[in-house]
Structure 1
Amino acid sequence: MFLKWQIVLGIFLIAACGSPSNEANQESNKPPQDTAPSLLKEDTKNILFFGNSLTAGYGLENQELAFPGIIQHWIDSLELPYRVINGGLSGETSAAGRERIDWLLQEKIDVFVLELGANDGLRGIPTEETSKNLQEIIDKVKAQYPDCKMVLTGMMVPPSMGGAYGKAFTAIFPALAKNNNMAFVPFLLADIAGETDLNQQDGIHPTEEGHQIMAEHVWEVLEPLL
């Protein structure tokens, strides 16, 4: 079972977080979508989910079915004054995210959920560079909105990237979370990778049920901040 998980995780990451197809490009290049109702109270706060295809909901009918959209539904059911903004972009790297974040920060952000880095790992980008890029993203958010609450999601790379690299890559995320006092999700794809019923027909992208589990992982650390 462990070997199966390792193999499928590698395939999953390559397809779900790698370079997007033309169809994915067309969808991902659209402006970030709000998943909250159109009628908002004046005191409503914004939660920005910033990441790659996992955040964007690659392969789903619409972004409301992705884990940020599921979290919006839970927020609404609890009548909490928060609006989710889905800032996911398929194929995003930490370097690209560092450049893109400025545009998204034009709107006030009260809670920031960062889900990036997997593409760096698959390309063998030095972990020091990935860590630096992610830190710069975090610094930009802090500089713009000092009171913003922050969440970081962890990721892994397949064993084919090498044991030493994999260990160094995995260590990026808890270190950043600790150094920046961020709430931390250890592994976003826990309980999903390798599970046929939780992936789409291609066997590599999470189904709605898979996104439900991702939402649960994030909600566990996000809810106490709201």
Structure 2
Amino acid sequence: MEGLLKLKRRHFNALAIALCALAAAGSSGFTLAQTPADPVILVVGDSLSAEYGLKRGTGWVALLDERLKREKVRARVVNASISGDTTSGGRSRIAALLKQHQPALVVIELGGNDALRGLPLNMTRDNLAAMTRMARDAGAKVLLLGMEMPPNYGAKYAQEFRDVFTTVAKAEKTALVPFFLKDVADTKDPTALFQADRIHPNETAQPTMLANVWPELRKLLAAR
């Protein structure tokens, strides 16, 4: 009887240790399909990537994580996006993010708030270029997500803003998604895919946003 009790006690202790390990894994953001050794995809963006106004887990970055698991791609997504962030904000914090997460791939989704605040385009360009170089110097591949401004900003400004992303991508020889909100903001009735503020895409638009990013991202993952 005493031997049986000791055996049961050992089994109980082993089970408790296993459950604690699973709890620790869940609290750190990993799933059973992911480990800390998996390559990191670091997303540095603004509200478009930070799930502003959306239910948690429905944004395009969360959908990317699900797609990676579904396609059995060994990678782990870290979303370091902050609503309202500008390229200056991203530039000021990317060094610490690179050091902390040591990503294999960095997705930069910034610039829209620069335009909304009327910040100089040359400053936006310089910040994006600096972030790209810092990520590359840290050993990461970079994917830049381009943005466009609505027609009411004027054709000249809209073209100059669009050129910021293509200029940086060409100069830094990095991958580019020309328009992150393609088939979202340029449809016949774009309000159908936006929240009430008409600035932030709604939940329905998130799969399309991921679809815009995925082809270029898949190429970078395959090259790695």
Note if 1:120 corresponds to 2:114: yes
Structure 2 residue aligned with 1:129: 123
In the alignment, which residue of structure 1 is the partner of 2:70? 77
User: Which residue, out of 203, 206, 213, partners 1:208?
Assistant: 203
CA shift at 1:46, angstroms? 0.1
* Displacement after TM superposition at 1:210 (Å): 0.4
Aligned to 2:170: 178
User: Structure 1 counterpart of 2:157, which letter?
Assistant: Y
TM-score computed with the length of structure 1 as normaliser: 0.77
Over 3 Å counting, the alpha-carbon distance change for 1:76 and 1:34 in structure 2 is farther
Partner of 2:83: 90
2:78 corresponds to 1:68:
no
Q: 8 Å contact 2:145–2:177 — kept in the other structure?
A: yes
**2:101 matches 1:107:** yes
* 8 Å Cα contact 2:40/2:76 also seen in 1: yes
Give the number of aligned pairs.
191
Change in 2 beyond 3 A, CA 1:54/1:81: same
Query: Are residues 1:165 and 2:157 paired?
Result: yes
| Counterpart residue number, 1:195 | 190
The letter for the 1-side match of 2:161 is F
CA distance in 1: counterparts of 2:132 and 2:28, whole angstroms: 22
Q: Distance in 2 between matches of 1:135 and 1:78?
A: 32
SS in structure 2 at match of 1:54: coil
Which residue pairs with 1:221 in the alignment?
216
Describe the SS at the equivalent of 1:79. coil
Q: 1:136 to 1:48 in 2, by over 3 A?
A: same
Gaps of 5+ in 1: 1-32
**Is 1:54 matched up with 2:54?**
no
Taking the aligned partners of 1:36 and 1:210, their CA distance within structure 2 comes to 26
Aligned counterpart for 1:153 among listed residues 142, 145, 151: 145
Q: For the structure 1 residues 206 and 54, does the alpha-carbon distance in structure 2 shift closer, same or farther, using more than 3 Å as the test?
A: same
Contact 2:33 2:69 (C-alpha < 8 Å) held by counterparts: no
Q: Distance in 2 between matches of 1:34 and 1:156?
A: 36
Partner residue of 1:5?
none
Please, what TM-score do these two structures have when normalized by structure 2? Answer: 0.78
> What is the one-letter code of the residue matched to 2:205?
G
* One-letter code aligned to 1:93: T
1:173 deviation in Å?
0.5
The structure showing larger relative contact order (alpha-carbon pairs under 8 Å, at least 6 residues apart) is 1
Larger radius of gyration: 2
Measure how far apart 1:51 and its partner are: 0.7
Relative to structure 1, the CA distance from residue 42 to residue 119 in structure 2 (aligned partners, 3 Å threshold; closer, same or farther) is closer
| 2:9 alignment partner in structure 1 | none
Task: From the superposition, tell whether residues 125 and 155 of structure 1 become closer, same or farther in structure 2 (CA, over 3 Å).
Answer: same
